[in-house]
């Protein structure tokens, strides 16, 4: 406009600048509550002066540009902390669900376990009462229901989490393409306007923030004003104006477990292990550290109860005088989950069997094969458990064994073994008739009423009912042993025909030799003749030594015959005294076995004999509780941190209404003053014009 020092021109530039500034102030006020908005500032500059001689004459003001007040570092911090905070938040939400579910005094496992063992005690009080047996069966079913309910809740949570992962992937893909589109608009806007596209940049920052809320990202700026977004371990989700996608798919190893797959322009890669942060990261962490482990532990408790209870139950006798059967589903039916990788090329069918519950843990394992070599790795800590070359293979320390049912594994084939995952799902009550609860001991001992001595026979533990003693027919024992005293220090075991059972010993024990000399009796049919003590031929005898001071335990017999139970004799029997050990036919109001069952409640059975069922459950609750607590604290800390960073960013970029009000006044004054100058110059012009008139 005109030449330098042009008053009108200068004032018009001032008016224009004021207008621009007022506009910007208005824009700031309008966007005061817009999320991610950075306040804008008009940058004014004096126009280049018209140089004349030794000085210059000002030419007014020019609006250089409108810039946003923005700190790149703070925005990045907001983004990354948002990511962490969202991760914790989401993880916490899910973990809390598990936490509340397990510890619920009504829905948790502990109350039904206590009820169940209470009902077992009820049967111990009245072993033949149908009603107390019914209560026990009912309580057993409630316990199973609780196991299955909890297991189902885990499944429901897993399904929800998987679904959520898929939803998140869709959102992430949408955000990625929006960011790519925004990159495009920013380039275009910059090319056309030449001025920085502030609002678009703000919007893109906002999109990035939303993206980071869903998944951890890294961001780099390009010289053309675009931004690249990385996820995982460096996969480019957004490059300039182009976006890639991620997808959630069931893993080949386990369709229930989700993999995050990055679908680049020319390649696919699995990035599950590298994704962290954001809701997606939170979910992955939740599944790995809380969900899978807890479900495995619940299964471990179920397997422990069914195994321990069944084992003891089978040592008992029911109301029809038959040996006890399975009370809960047999452990074989609660078999470990074995999942072959879907990419396997071999046709091997492999199964796993639980071998001992003391060592069984809630861990998961991976079996892989390469050139004749099988390797079993514990996934929790990546520890190599075993290397072997043929099946079956037993892993004593882990409590299970592996069997090749048919087919063969091919190179690089692998499978996942979860010994306890299905425990809580599959456990069930197998006893359907209250009369089949094996409350009684299957063995009865009796001293003959005709005995003259004071000898007492005492029933010990029943250890195994799968011995020949119980084999012949249900409800009878072969032989029903009788014990007959030959003299005060010796007795014979008689079988059911009344014949003494010969005891065969490979070598003569020293003490027996001595005894023989002491009382001079010819107890042994044979004496070593060849004088070579080392090669004593087998000795057959029927008399067994009785210790009158300490009593003795009769079984196993000196030659190792194991009837599967323990019986002891004490006191001072005399010659001719007899004792009987027989099947407890009709002993239906006996409660020895149900007492043994009730003792399982506080018996340390699991974890190498260190933990009872309720201990393991308490551990589970504590672990989840601690995890939730930890997440809660971290979540709060992150939130606080986030608030601080947001406050910092706001303090730089946020709109302050008072400031804007002040600016309004300031720019209005600027406008007014400049307008006054126009008025003055108009007046001056008028004066000039009038002087010509």
Partner 1 sequence: MRVSTNQIQMGAINAMLDQQEGLARVQQQVATGKRVITPADDPVAIAQVVNLQDSLRRTEQFQRNIDNAVGRLTLEEGVLEGVTQILQRVRELAVYANNATQTNDTRSYIAEEITQLGDELLGQANTMDSDGEFLFAGSKGRFKPFSKDDKGNFLYYGDDTQRFVRVGPRRQIAINDTGTEVFRKIREGNGTFIVTESLNNQGSGVLDQGSSKGHYDFGTYALIMDQKDNLNPNEPLTYRVINDKGKEIVPSTIFSEGNAITFEGVQMFILGEPEPGDYFIIRPSQHQDVFTTLQKLVVALKDSRNTAADHAFLHNEVNRALASVDTAMGKVLDVRASIGTRLNALDSQKGINEAFGIQLKELISNIEDLDFGEAISRLNSRKVGLEASQKAFVKVQEISLFNHLY
Which 85-124 residues touch partner 1, going by CB under 8 A?
Answer: 96, 99-100, 102-103, 110, 114, 117-118, 121-122, 124
CB of 570 to partner 1, least distance (A): 15
Give the x/- contact pattern for partner 1 in 467-506, rule: CB under 8 A. ----------------------------------------
Residue 570, classified by CB atoms within 10 Å of its CB into exposed (0-12), middle (13-18) or buried (19+), is middle
Which has the closest alpha carbon to 567: 654, 491, 671? 491
CB atoms within 10 A of CB 481: 23
Candidate segments 296-304, 418-426, 476-484, 648-656, binder of partner 1 by CB under 8 A: 648-656
Q: What is the dihedral of CA 552, 558, 562, 566, to 10 degrees?
A: 0
Candidate segments 203-211, 398-406, 493-501, 641-649, binder of partner 1 by CB under 8 A: 641-649
Tell which positions 265-284 bind partner 1, by CB under 8 A: none
CB of 151 to partner 1, least distance (A): 19
Going from the C-alpha of 610 to that of each of 13, 58, 69, 449, 616, the distances in angstroms are 87, 91, 63, 45, 10
Peptide bond into 556 cis (omega under 30): yes
507/534 Cα distance (integer angstroms):
9
Return the number of the residue (66 or 646) whose C-beta is nearest partner 1: 646
Binding of residue 661 to partner 1 (CB under 8 A): yes
Return the number of the residue (23 or 56) whose C-beta is nearest partner 1: 23
Return the number of the residue (146 or 418) whose C-beta is nearest partner 1: 146
Binding of residue 658 to partner 1 (CB under 8 A): yes
The answer to whether 229 touches 208, Cβ cutoff 8 Å, is yes
Binding of residue 672 to partner 1 (CB under 8 A): no
231/79 Cα distance (integer angstroms):
14
Binding of residue 618 to partner 1 (CB under 8 A): yes
Number of residues that bind partner 1 (CB under 8 A): 77
3-class secondary structure, 287 = helix
Binding of residue 127 to partner 1 (CB under 8 A): yes
Tell which positions 217-236 bind partner 1, by CB under 8 A: none
626/208 Cα distance (integer angstroms):
33
CB of 295 to partner 1, least distance (A): 17
Tell which positions 25-84 bind partner 1, by CB under 8 A: 32-33, 39
What are the backbone dihedrals phi and psi of residue 427, each rounded to the nearest 5 degrees, phi first?
-65, 140
575/266 Cα distance (integer angstroms):
96
Return the number of the residue (247 or 486) whose C-beta is nearest partner 1: 486
Candidate segments 41-49, 292-300, 331-339, 620-628, binder of partner 1 by CB under 8 A: 620-628
Q: Which of 657, 673, 679, 685 lies at the binding interface for partner 1 (CB under 8 A)?
A: 657
Q: Which of 501, 652, 675, 678 lies at the binding interface for partner 1 (CB under 8 A)?
A: 652
The answer to whether 279 touches 83, Cβ cutoff 8 Å, is no
Binding of residue 656 to partner 1 (CB under 8 A): yes
CB of 626 to partner 1, least distance (A): 4
Tell which positions 542-581 bind partner 1, by CB under 8 A: 574-575
Candidate segments 52-60, 72-80, 160-168, 593-601, binder of partner 1 by CB under 8 A: 593-601
Which secondary structure element, helix H or strand E, spans residue 458, and what is its range? strand 456-462
Return the number of the residue (62 or 595) whose C-beta is nearest partner 1: 595
> Which residue has tokens 């809380």?
290
CB of 25 to partner 1, least distance (A): 12
Tell which positions 178-217 bind partner 1, by CB under 8 A: none
Return the number of the residue (378 or 484) whose C-beta is nearest partner 1: 484
Compute the residue count for the chain. Answer: 693
Q: Which of 399, 414, 587, 638 lies at the binding interface for partner 1 (CB under 8 A)?
A: 587
- The Cα angle at residue 388 between residues 386 and 393, in degrees rounded to 5: 80
Q: Which of 128, 256, 344, 355 lies at the binding interface for partner 1 (CB under 8 A)?
A: 128
Return the number of the residue (236 or 459) whose C-beta is nearest partner 1: 459
Q: Which of 614, 634, 641, 678 lies at the binding interface for partner 1 (CB under 8 A)?
A: 614
Candidate segments 3-11, 200-208, 562-570, 591-599, binder of partner 1 by CB under 8 A: 591-599
Q: Which of 337, 590, 611, 671 lies at the binding interface for partner 1 (CB under 8 A)?
A: 590
At a CB cut-off of 8 Å and minimum separation 6, what does 90 contact?
Answer: 279, 282, 283, 286
Binding of residue 153 to partner 1 (CB under 8 A): no
The radius of gyration of the chain's CA atoms, rounded to the nearest angstrom, is 43
Question: What does the DSSP 8-state code read for residue 611?
Answer: B
Which secondary structure element, helix H or strand E, spans residue 62, and what is its range? strand 61-68
70/45 Cα distance (integer angstroms):
20
Binding of residue 322 to partner 1 (CB under 8 A): no
Return the number of the residue (31 or 80) whose C-beta is nearest partner 1: 31
Return the number of the residue (589 or 676) whose C-beta is nearest partner 1: 589
Q: Which of 125, 233, 496, 682 lies at the binding interface for partner 1 (CB under 8 A)?
A: 125
Q: Which of 83, 361, 598, 674 lies at the binding interface for partner 1 (CB under 8 A)?
A: 598
511/513 Cα distance (integer angstroms):
5
Peptide bond into 392 cis (omega under 30): yes
Binding of residue 324 to partner 1 (CB under 8 A): no
The answer to whether 320 touches 332, Cβ cutoff 8 Å, is no
Tell which positions 428-467 bind partner 1, by CB under 8 A: 440-441, 444-447, 449-452, 459
Candidate segments 184-192, 362-370, 489-497, 617-625, binder of partner 1 by CB under 8 A: 617-625
> Which residue has tokens 């209560």?
135
Binding of residue 137 to partner 1 (CB under 8 A): no
3-class secondary structure, 235 = strand
58/42 Cα distance (integer angstroms):
20
Binding of residue 601 to partner 1 (CB under 8 A): yes
Return the number of the residue (132 or 183) whose C-beta is nearest partner 1: 132
Question: How many H-runs (helices) and E-runs (strands) does the chain carry?
Answer: 14, 29
Question: What does the DSSP 8-state code read for residue 252?
Answer: S
Partners of 298 in the beta sheet?
Answer: none
In DSSP notation, 124-175 reads HHSTT-HHHHHHHHHHHHHHHHHHHHHHHHHHHHHHHHHHHHHHHHHHHHHH
Return the number of the residue (129 or 148) whose C-beta is nearest partner 1: 129
What are the backbone dihedrals phi and psi of residue 469, each rounded to the nearest 5 degrees, phi first?
-55, -30
Give the HSE-up count for residue 559: Cα atoms under 13 Å, Cβ half-sphere. 15
Q: Which of 43, 222, 504, 651 lies at the binding interface for partner 1 (CB under 8 A)?
A: 651
């Amino acid at each position: 406009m005109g030449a330098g020092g042009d008053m009108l021109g200068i004032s018009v530039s001032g008016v224009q600048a004021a207008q621009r500034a007022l506009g910007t102030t208005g824009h700031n006020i309008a966007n005061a509550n817009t999320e991610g908005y950075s306040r804008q500032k008009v940058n004014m500059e004096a126009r280049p002066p018209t140089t004349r001689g030794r000085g210059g004459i000002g030419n007014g003001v020019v609006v250089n540009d409108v810039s946003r007040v923005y700190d790149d570092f703070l925005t990045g911090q907001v983004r990354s902390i948002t990511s962490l905070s969202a991760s914790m938040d989401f993880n916490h939400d899910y973990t809390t669900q598990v936490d509340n579910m397990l510890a619920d005094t009504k829905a948790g496992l502990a109350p039904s376990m206590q009820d169940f063992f209470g009902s077992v005690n009820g049967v111990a009080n009245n072993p033949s009462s149908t009603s107390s047996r019914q209560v026990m069966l009912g309580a057993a079913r409630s316990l199973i229901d609780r196991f299955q309910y909890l297991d189902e809740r885990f499944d429901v949570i897993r399904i929800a989490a998987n679904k959520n992962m898929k939803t998140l992937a869709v959102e992430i893909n949408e955000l990625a393409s929006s960011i790519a589109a925004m990159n495009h608009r920013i380039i275009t806007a910059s090319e056309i306007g030449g001025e920085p596209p502030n609002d678009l940049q703000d919007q893109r920052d906002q999109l990035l923030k939303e993206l980071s809320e869903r998944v951890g990202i890294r961001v780099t700026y390009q010289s053309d004003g675009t931004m690249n977004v990385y996820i995982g371990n460096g996969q480019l989700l957004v490059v300039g104006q182009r976006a890639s996608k991620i997808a959630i798919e069931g893993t080949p190893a386990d369709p229930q477990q989700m993999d995050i797959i990055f679908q680049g322009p020319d390649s696919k890669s699995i990035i599950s292990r590298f994704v962290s942060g954001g809701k997606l990261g939170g979910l992955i962490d939740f599944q790995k550290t809380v969900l899978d482990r807890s479900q495995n532990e619940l299964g471990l408790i179920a397997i422990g109860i069914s195994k321990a209870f069944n084992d003891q139950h089978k040592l008992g006798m029911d109301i029809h005088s038959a040996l006890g059967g399975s009370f809960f589903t047999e452990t074989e039916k609660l078999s470990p989950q074995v999942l072959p990788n879907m990419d396997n090329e071999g046709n091997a069918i492999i199964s796993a069997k639980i071998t001992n519950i003391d060592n069984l843990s809630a861990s998961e394992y991976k079996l892989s094969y390469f050139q004749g070599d099988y390797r079993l790795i514990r996934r929790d800590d990546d520890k190599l458990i075993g290397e072997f070359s043929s099946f079956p293979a037993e892993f004593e320390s882990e409590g299970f064994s592996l069997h090749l049912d048919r087919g063969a594994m091919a190179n690089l084939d692998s499978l996942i073994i979860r010994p306890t995952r299905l425990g809580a799902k599959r456990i069930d009550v197998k006893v359907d008739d209250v009369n089949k609860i094996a409350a009684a001991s299957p063995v009865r001992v009796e001293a003959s009423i005709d005995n003259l001595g004071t000898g007492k026979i005492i029933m010990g533990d029943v250890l195994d009912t799968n011995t020949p003693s119980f084999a012949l027919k249900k409800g009878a024992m072969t032989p029903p042993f009788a014990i007959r005293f030959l003299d005060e220090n010796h007795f014979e075991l008689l079988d059911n025909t009344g014949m003494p059972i010969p005891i065969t010993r490979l070598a003569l024990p020293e003490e027996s030799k001595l005894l023989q000399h002491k009382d001079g009796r010819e107890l042994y049919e044979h004496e070593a003749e060849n004088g070579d003590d080392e090669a004593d031929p087998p000795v057959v005898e029927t008399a067994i030594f009785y210790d009158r001071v300490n009593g003795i335990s009769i079984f196993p017999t000196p030659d190792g015959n194991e009837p599967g139970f323990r019986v002891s004799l004490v006191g001072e029997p005399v010659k001719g005294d007899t004792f009987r050990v027989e099947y407890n036919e009709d002993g239906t109001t006996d409660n020895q076995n149900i007492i043994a069952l009730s003792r399982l409640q506080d018996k340390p059975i699991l974890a190498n004999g260190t933990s009872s069922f309720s201990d393991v459950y308490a551990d589970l609750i504590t672990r989840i509780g601690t995890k939730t607590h930890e997440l809660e604290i971290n979540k709060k800390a992150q939130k606080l941190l986030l608030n601080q960073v947001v406050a910092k960013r706001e303090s730089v970029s946020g709109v302050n209404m008072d400031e804007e009000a002040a600016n309004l006044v300031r720019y209005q004054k600027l406008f007014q003053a400049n307008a006054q100058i126009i008025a003055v110059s108009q007046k001056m012009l008028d004066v000039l014009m009038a002087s010509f008139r």
